[in-house]
Chain A
């Protein structure tokens, strides 16, 4: 087998791990990394996106519109959850753990009771292509591109738009932002909805490739939290490099020793990064810059 095949296969595996980490983590990066709400129901927002996507595709919509519907419904659910529960807990970050954990249990069990133990899949589009001896799924490349697109969009949103500036101001110094006439409650709501919508987007994008069950959110949550924890508070400067570092560790360890060592490698890398850079990668980058 020639070098090019090996290089491509390594790149593909890296891209695949990167896409999974980044897409799992983006919503949480906004809600936990930026807003400081420890959202244990993150996986259930992902599940919500996946279920809505599958349901709309079964109803006859094309997949991209289904994914859009999944994203929007998750964002809408995010608004409701923020108004009903999270809003009252911004000063009590530890209590958000209990509240969101409760929400996650209710969502998982409620889905089980109402929709049943499984939902029929929608099938992965686009087919496959061949490089050397290996064949690859084209949809996995789409996922990688989607991850890059989401990162770029987040960077643009929080750095170049008026909403982004207001959101960052509100979260950093809420009373000052309020004094300057910003409707901070609205900004909090919209930011939370943005995070929930991103989680729904991840669910929608992965829905064609996965088992659709009420507990599916749990398979994302570990990766999401470790990426955000080592990424730190900045959505773009944290999530992108954290996803990159962890994807390298995970894909190298998995191809060398199998899935178990991939997971071990991931957690060891997290422990090392948190020990060396307690403020996360973005904390380190921003300190260097100033």
Chain B
């Protein structure tokens, strides 16, 4: 008996902490109705926390706004959040827990591509529904997933040709050594070749490495015109400080830095001078929509160090989910996918207009080219509007017809029918 009582107490204690994120106090009457449960699995501690705590806050902000305005179809949104600690096995554990025990309607999960590939088979296995609100190396063709982050045809097909035209055709890639870095480097190689350039060199850095003297020397030896830095996690960000103090003085291009880890705020100028990043959102974007979002974010979380790309992706994802549920009149994945198949799930996000592509269930984006100046101020030399996530669809992924639940790369494209 005592055991079951204890278990009950523990469950009560757990749920007590879990609903902390939702503004339950002021909406007790609303919460008494059957809530829509949204699982949030993001890294709130560990090596990736700097870039991802803002994602959790963005989801909390959107949920609070939606609940204040009456919820989704009159049902309140309840967050079930766990800290995945930048650890892939935690993702698997908690993904099973939210799907099996908490029985959430949808899960927003994941920063690193390694974590995503760790939990994705579990979502497929338990027939769940997950949003990956993060830029990544592209290629996930899985009907159980919606990806709101930017992909290589949005970030590299814009960035690399711009850099090659401006600085020259010799390119060096310094990338994190796991699936994200390896596949992204493959994209860079492909785009450099298509544009008549040449790879001066490539190096892959294990996650957690913080000392770069030798890598810096390798880069100086290869004499590239610019360096593509695809460094992930806080330890690897030490590269910029060390490269600057060794006076490498080369322009840099990236799809992940600044937009996620706000390195230009963390390091002393001018260590990120001449860094070019393609991102679909950062807090410096000077449009009314962006300013409004930034103001709301800062009002709720005044000590937030930076409102990054993935925070915006997470925020807009909650609203997209709301729209899809309301149009489908259901939280069932198959009903929602019928709405996506119509091809007109769009919204005015802080970055601009975004739409979900029915073939790949990825999202179109406004892509901003952010340049870091010598004083670490941000300017936007170029903006590309409405860049579609076209690669998967053109390569042969069509989720409206067939769901292969697989990830593809340029060297491993979908099988031709």
Contact = CB atoms under 8 A, between A and B. Distances in A.
B205 A209 contact: no
Nearest to B212: A259
B206 A263 contact: yes
Interface string B43-64: 0011101100100000000000
A212 to B, nearest CB: 8
B213 A12 contact: yes
Contacts of A124: 241-242, 244-245
Contacts of B342: none
Contacts of B49: 112, 117, 213-215
A16 interface: yes
A126 B247 CA distance: 11
B271 A123 contact: yes
A122 B213 CA distance: 19
Nearest to A124: B245
B303 interface: yes
Given A128-B247, A219-B235, A260-B204, A20 B305 contact: no
Contacts, number: 132
Contact of A216 (B53, B217, B235): B235
A135 interface: yes
A135 B238 contact: no
A134 interface: yes
A112 B205 contact: no
Interface residues of B, number: 40
Given A117-B305, A118-B50, A134 B220 contact: yes
A56 interface: no
B267 interface: yes
Given A135-B220, A210-B241, A258-B204, A120 B266 contact: yes
* Contact-residue size bin, chain A (C-beta under 8 Å from the other chain): 35 or more
Given A112-B45, A211-B234, A219 B208 contact: yes
Contact of B266 (A121, A127, A139, A258): A121
Interface string B236-251: 0110011011111000
Interface of A: 9, 12-13, 16-17, 20, 108-109, 112, 116-124, 126-128, 130, 133-140, 208-216, 218-219, 251, 254-255, 258-260, 262-263
Interface of B: 45-47, 49-50, 53, 177, 203-206, 208-211, 213-215, 217-218, 220-221, 234-235, 237-238, 241-242, 244-248, 265-268, 271, 303, 305
29 contacts: A13-B217, A17-B211, A112-B49, A120-B265, A120-B266, A120-B268, A123-B241, A123-B268, A124-B241, A127-B245, A128-B247, A134-B220, A135-B220, A135-B246, A137-B246, A138-B245, A139-B245, A208-B241, A209-B238, A211-B235, A211-B237, A219-B208, A251-B214, A255-B217, A258-B215, A259-B215, A260-B204, A260-B205, A260-B206
Q: 5 tightest A-B contacts by CB?
A: A123-B268, A128-B247, A124-B245, A137-B245, A219-B210
